Amino acid sequence: MEFTTQHFIALAPLLITSATIIVVMLAIAWRRNHSQTFLISVAGLNLALLSILPALKVAPLAVTPLLQIDSFACLYMALILVATLACVTLAHAYLGDGGSGYPGNREELYLLILMAAAGGLVLVSAQHLAGLFVGLELLSVPVYGLVAYAFFNKRSLEAGIKYMVLSAAGSAFLLFGMALLYADSGSLSFVGIGQALAATGLPSSLAQMGLGMMLIGLAFKLSLVPFHLWTPDVYEGAPAPVAAFLATASKVAVFAVMVRLFQISPAASSGVLSDVLTIIAIASILFGNLLALTQSNLKRLLGYSSIAHFGYLLIALVASKGLAVEAIGVYLVTYVITSLGAFGVITLMSSPYNGRDADALYEYRGLFWRRPYLTAVLTVMMLSLAGIPLTAGFIGKFYIIATGVESHQWWLVGSLVLGSAIGVFYYLRVMVTLYLIEPNLRRHDAQLHWEQRAGGVMLLAIAVLAFFLGLYPQPLLVLVKQAVLAG
């Protein structure tokens, strides 16, 4: 095929991210400098983010048989790049520039995050099973290293090995499912598979088995019940900025490609598979919320909570008509904002030099009297995750409920309401802990280094954005609607 200027414009976000990876690699080889590596990474990610605007003007465009750049892909590319940018900023604050050195090399963390982000960009624009697999592996493999990055910490190393083994098992299921789907439809492109399934009415048992095995592979990555067992341990063991990346950019990319797969072949979401998705959604909502109730570790609590949130998202995927794709877009944006805020607070409270992150709930007792700004951010994030009105989380949850009601999925709507009620309890428990008064506690705000201040400013911006979208969600709704209609 011939590459024109339009193809390069459409691929610009991916090309700029890949170029940034090479520049960072060369910069590390030339001279190790933590701040320099951070600045190159931030500059590259910002350029990639800006290049989405010209890419939108040439979209939709099938760049190769593997990649389709359209407004749907651009929306999720922007979301992944923003989440990666936030995680890189948090990583800089976390690793610091202090002399009490980190025992390993700090610069490679940025390299791995950028490589995983490039995998996410490939994944959201995939329109072919080969593109899907390449994107998924490029996203997953650097994350194994990221999770175990604090190698001197036993928990981090254990989390890395667990994630690698289970992720490899998920990839095996995915590949076997692809093989079955190819055997049935004779095509690897999403459109070809969709047409083959539509021609026969209901998918054959072979196609259903293939789709089912692919669903298992993707459910592993999204930590949906019953494939969720790795989540709390990996979230707890991973360094805080990596846990933020895993909860946001990584999951958004996988869910976006899942939406595209089901959107192109509506037959895939009918019959047995629809029932399986319904059961997984209800189980994820109830198990995620009930298990979060018993947690005294903030990272594990957020891990179980993310299982429940992706259970809510499955409701829109099962509905798969009307508002569904729009609701998924809105919910993912609000979820990314709130997760980044919550993990951001844990990051600024932690330091890799202390052996473990500050993620135990007792460490947040009376935080308001020591770090009022961080307390304000975490309070807004907890309210948003609980779906309380006037926060971004409420808008996302409202859209999911509207989708469920529109498609008469009463069991799913009922489980969402029940799950949200349970969720309010443990989110409020975290909030109450923040404001408890300890005896002999003096009020002061700890002195922060400049890199931590940059992270703090970003967290305050995230909290303001969560409030703004709760009060005035119109810009977000318009943006997502345009992406869905054009995509």
Band of the pLDDT at 415, cuts 50, 70, 90? Answer: very high
Picking from 21-30, 339-348, 353-362, which range would have the lowest pLDDT averaged per residue?
Answer: 353-362
What range does the domain containing 399 cover? 5-486
Q: Residue 61 forms beta bridges with which residues?
A: 69
Predicted TM-score (pTM) of the model is: 0.91
What is the full DSSP assignment across 436-450? PPPTTPPP------H
Question: What span, in angstroms and rounded, lies between the C-alpha atoms of 355 and 157?
Answer: 12
- Look up residue 183 and give its two tokens: 């055997």
- pLDDT for 487 equals 56
- What is the rounded average pLDDT of the residues 43-56? 91
**So what's the pLDDT on residue 100?**
43
Q: What is the pLDDT of residue 381?
A: 92
- Residue 485 pLDDT greater than 80, yes or no: no
pLDDT digits (tens, 9 = 90+) for 171-203: 999 999 999 989 988 888 888 888 887 777 666
Per-residue pLDDT, 410: 86
- Dig out the tokens for 79 from the structure: 């979301």
Confidence class of residue 97 from pLDDT cuts 50, 70 and 90?
Answer: low
> What pLDDT, on the 0 to 100 scale, is given for residue 322?
66
The residues facing 297 across adjacent strands are 360
Q: Across residues 11-29, what is the average pLDDT?
A: 92
Cα–Cα distance measured from residue 237 to residue 284, given in angstroms and rounded to the nearest whole number: 22
- Condensed to tens digits (0 to 9), the pLDDT of residues 142-170 reads 999 999 887 777 888 888 999 999 999 99
Cis peptide upstream of residue 60 (ω within 30 degrees of 0): yes
Element (H, E) at 90: helix 71-95
- 51-65, 259-273, 388-402, 439-453: least confidently modelled range: 439-453
- Is the pLDDT confidence value at 447 over 70? no
Is the confidence at residue 409, as pLDDT, over 60? yes
**Identity of residue 116:** A
Task: Report helix angle 71-95 to 324-349, nearest 10.
Answer: 10
Buried b (16+ CB within 10 A) or exposed e, 123-140: bbbbbbbebbbbbbbbbb
CB count in 10 Å sphere of residue 464: 12
Give whole-number Cα distances, 59 to 70, 161, 458, in Å.
5, 40, 31
pLDDT band at 103 (very low <50, low <70, confident <90, very high): low
pLDDT in tens, 121-142: 999 998 889 999 999 999 999 9
pLDDT for 269: 56
What is the structure's pLDDT at 445?
47
Go through 354-379 and write b for each residue having 16 or more CB atoms within 10 A of its CB, e for each that does not: eebbbbebeebbbbbbbbebbbbbbb
Q: How confident is the model at residue 284 (pLDDT cuts 50, 70, 90)?
A: very high
Q: What is the mean pLDDT of the chain?
A: 85
Span 372-397, mean pLDDT?
Answer: 89
In whole angstroms, give the CA distance from residue 438 to residue 240.
26
Q: Is the pLDDT of residue 16 over 80?
A: yes
Q: Note the pLDDT of residue 62.
A: 82
Q: How confident is the model at residue 206 (pLDDT cuts 50, 70, 90)?
A: confident
Residue 441's pLDDT band (cuts 50, 70, 90): low
- pLDDT tens, position by position, 346-377: 888 876 666 677 778 888 888 888 888 888 89
For the chain, the domain total comes to 1
**CA angle at 240 for the pair 434 and 360, rounded to the nearest 5°:** 40
CB 267 within 8 A of CB 196: no
Q: Across residues 452-461, what is the average pLDDT?
A: 81
Chain centroid to Cα 210, Å, comes to 25
Instruction: Name the band, by pLDDT with cuts 50, 70 and 90, for residue 270.
Output: low
Residue with tokens 């990055």: 149
Closest by alpha carbon to 235, among 331, 165, 151, 305?
Answer: 305
| Helical (H) or strand (E) element with 61 | strand 61-62
Q: Please give the pLDDT value at position 325.
A: 83
Averaged over 449-464, what is the pLDDT? Answer: 78
